[in-house]
Amino acid sequence: MRGTFIVLIYISVILTSCQNVRRTEQTTLTSTVEKIIIKTPSLIAIKPILTNSPIGDGGLITGIPCEAPCFFGVAPAKTSFDEALNTLPKFGRNACIENASKLTIHCDEGIFIGANSSTRLVNRIGYYPAGDVSVSGVIQKFGEPNIVAVLPGAVPESSKVSIILFFDDLMMKIQLPEIDGSSYLLEGDTEVYLINYFDLEIYQDVTNDNYFSQSWKGYGIYEVNQH
């Protein structure tokens, strides 16, 4: 049954004055969704309204101020937690909250950064691009994704579907908007909703379970795997 595998956990929800967000929680877990959401909890969040935000594409396509998987001077497995705290303000990311005990940084532009508790190196970055970033733009720069995960709606009775694209070379996850329906029409101009960079350990963890995974077959209609 599809309901056996689905979880809906909204953590670290970012609210703006222009949004009213309803958070729903369900205890039934999907192994794949658990790894995507539970292992990196604050990377899956409600997208804030980024009016006149200077974040742009975060460097994903433009390479400004640094090339992916670097984000405003911070890169997984290279930048320490303390270095990230000092680097972000240099690039105008000032409205951030540090949780020293959990080694996390949240910024009000929809930015999340977490670090490994043992090494204190950054191991996950997540952000919502404010500029127009399309799937075709990502593929033109980085090539085709290695994995396409087609996820059903988080609530068993819902008729929603979403797609996540994984790029092994960058250890990058690109999440596309959730839409109504049982299939997903993936087009070149489909917008990128959420961008994540990981270190090797977390990237392998979120991609190891292939229940919802498919091979890239170009633009077109993708269906949820029915096992």
Our count of domains for the chain comes to 1
The DSSP output letter for 15 is -
The tokens of 30 are what? Answer: 């999907």
The tokens of 135 are what? Answer: 């799937």
Residue 218 sits in which domain range? 2-223
How many residues can be counted in the chain? Answer: 227
Q: How much is the pTM?
A: 0.76
- 112 contacts 43 by C-beta, under 8 angstroms: yes
Task: Output the DSSP codes for 150-172.
Answer: EEE-SSTT--EEEEEEEETTTTE
How do residues 100-120 score in pLDDT, each as one tens digit?
999 999 987 789 999 999 999
Q: Using alpha carbons, list the distances in angstroms from residue 197 to 91, 152, 169, 170, 200.
A: 18, 23, 11, 7, 10
How do residues 167-205 score in pLDDT, each as one tens digit?
999 999 999 999 998 899 999 999 999 999 999 999 999
Segment 132-144 mean pLDDT: 96
**Which residues in 163-194 are b (16+ Cβ under 10 Å) and which e?**
bbbbbeebbbbbbbeeeeeeebebeeebebbb
* Three-class DSSP category at 99: strand
How do residues 12-65 score in pLDDT, each as one tens digit?
333 333 333 333 333 332 333 334 333 333 333 334 434 344 789 999 999 999
Q: Is the pLDDT of residue 138 over 60?
A: yes
Q: What pLDDT, on the 0 to 100 scale, is given for residue 45?
A: 37
Q: Is the pLDDT of residue 76 over 80?
A: yes
Q: Is the pLDDT of residue 95 over 80?
A: no
Distance from the Cα of residue 135 to its chain's centroid: 14
